[in-house]
Amino acid sequence: MAFQQTILITGGAGFIGSHLVRLMVNSHPDYHIVNLDKLTYAGNLENLKDIEGRPNYTFVKGDITNEAQMQQLFAAFQFDGVIHLAAESHVDRSISNPMSFIETNIVGTVVLLNAARYHWKDTTGKRFYHISTDEVYGSLGDTGFFTEETAYDPRSPYSASKASSDHLVRAYYHTYGLPVALSNCSNNYGPYQFPEKLIPLMINNIRHNKPLPVYGDGLYTRDWLWVEDHAAAIDLIYHKGRVGETYNIGGNNEWKNIDLVHQLCDIMDGLLGRQAGVSRSLISFVKDRPGHDRRYAIDASKIRRELGWEPSIRAAEGLRRTAEWYLENTEWLERVTSGAYQQYYEHQYGEG
């Protein structure tokens, strides 16, 4: 079959990437979707079992920092577009091991930019779309929102590496005319999220009656977005976003961490048939994350206004769906938390 477009999605076996790959393979049967992923601890082909073998889907195991491999990949597939999600994504890991974040998030992005630049002699209809985070903007006080004009002020090695990659993507637009687009999104949640992140970590610990480690005073605020709403926004920006532009994506759904954990505890008590309050009693305030950003909040009016995007559900509903998914997929959870996860957990939280 002759495809209308061939699109490279990097990091498609990760949390957000797997939702995006599934969405694009299902909703664009006339596109060839090539998922390139290194399959680090965060990448898992089990996340994509339902679309394995589809005629418009190809998985390639590879590393975005490997220049020769990326050049070969671009030569072999002649991509029309790139949607770049591959990254080291966990802030706590960036604090203990910054170098892997520099390598993947900065060097890896430049390797891809170079491959696109080299292979796209004619850039008509091409698009290099870089997926980024609201963390590049730094930390807010009690009021205000991040807009696309907010000055960058990253505070963690993770956010500094993402900020750096954003700047490089924009530099390739201004310097070489590479047709780029960017988006900066708030905290995603939903099925297939690796249980190092707040929500699945809490769900997993509640299941096992383990302490629920809330950093610092628990009054840090995040804006939560259902992962499928992020995937839909990415699909929309890829097709309709203006070249050279940045779009902020957020759920308008702010929660203080402690309130979110309380809500999850109550949902889990209900789903597990436990007495009300049992899971809340597991909460344990622990040492704070160094350089912990106090509050993130996104002004998503540009993507609403220009592209008509809206989040489909709010966190109260999304948290319930997420908790139900993890309880229905305990085998997935058991597999990803065996082995190396135990060492990570011990190192991060000081217990097995």
**Token match 């997993």: residue?**
204
The structure tokens listed for 166 are: 């954003």
Residue number, 51 or 232, with CB nearest to ligand DAU: 232
| 101 binds ligand NAD per the rule CB under 6 A | no
Q: Does 185 bind ligand NAD (CB under 6 A)?
A: yes
* Smallest separation (angstroms) from ligand DAU to the CB of 140: 12
CA distances from 37 to 65, 82, 323 (A): 11, 13, 27
> Of 25, 33, 83, 135, which one interacts with ligand DAU (CB under 6 A)?
135
Q: Which of residues 150-179 bind ligand NAD (CB under 6 A)?
A: 162
In which element (H, E) is residue 164 found?
helix 157-176
- Say which DSSP state 252 is in: S
In the region spanning residues 266 to 325, those forming contacts with ligand DAU, defined by CB under 6 A, are 289, 296
19 binds ligand DAU (CB under 6 A): no
Under the criterion CB under 6 A, does residue 91 sit at the interface with ligand DAU? yes
Nearest position to ligand NAD, beta carbon: 14
With binding defined as CB under 6 A, does residue 205 bind ligand NAD?
no
254 binds ligand DAU (CB under 6 A): no
- Residue placing its CB nearer to ligand DAU in the complex, 179 or 251: 251
**Neighbour-count burial for 298-311, b at 16+ CB within 10 Å, e otherwise:** bbbebbeeebebeb
Q: Which of 108, 213, 251, 318 binds ligand DAU (CB under 6 A)?
A: 213
- List active site positions: 134-135, 158
Cβ-contact 41, 195 below 8 angstroms: no
Q: Does 187 bind ligand DAU (CB under 6 A)?
A: yes
C-alpha 269/C-alpha 277 separation (Å) is: 7
Of the listed pieces 64-72, 86-94, 173-181, 236-244, which binds ligand DAU according to CB under 6 A?
86-94
**Stretch binding ligand NAD (CB under 6 A), from 21-29, 180-188, 274-282, 333-341:** 180-188
List Cα–Cα distances, 326 to 21, 30, 47, 74, 252, in angstroms: 20, 33, 13, 37, 24
Near ligand NAD by CB under 6 A, which window of 61-69, 145-153, 231-239, 266-274?
A: 61-69
d(CA 8, CA 34): 5
> Which are the contacts of 53, defined by CB distance < 8 A and separation ≥ 6?
none
Q: What span, in angstroms and rounded, lies between the C-alpha atoms of 214 and 103?
A: 30
* Binding region for ligand NAD (CB under 6 A): 10-11, 13-17, 37-40, 42-43, 63-65, 85-87, 89, 104, 108, 131-133, 162, 185, 187-188, 194
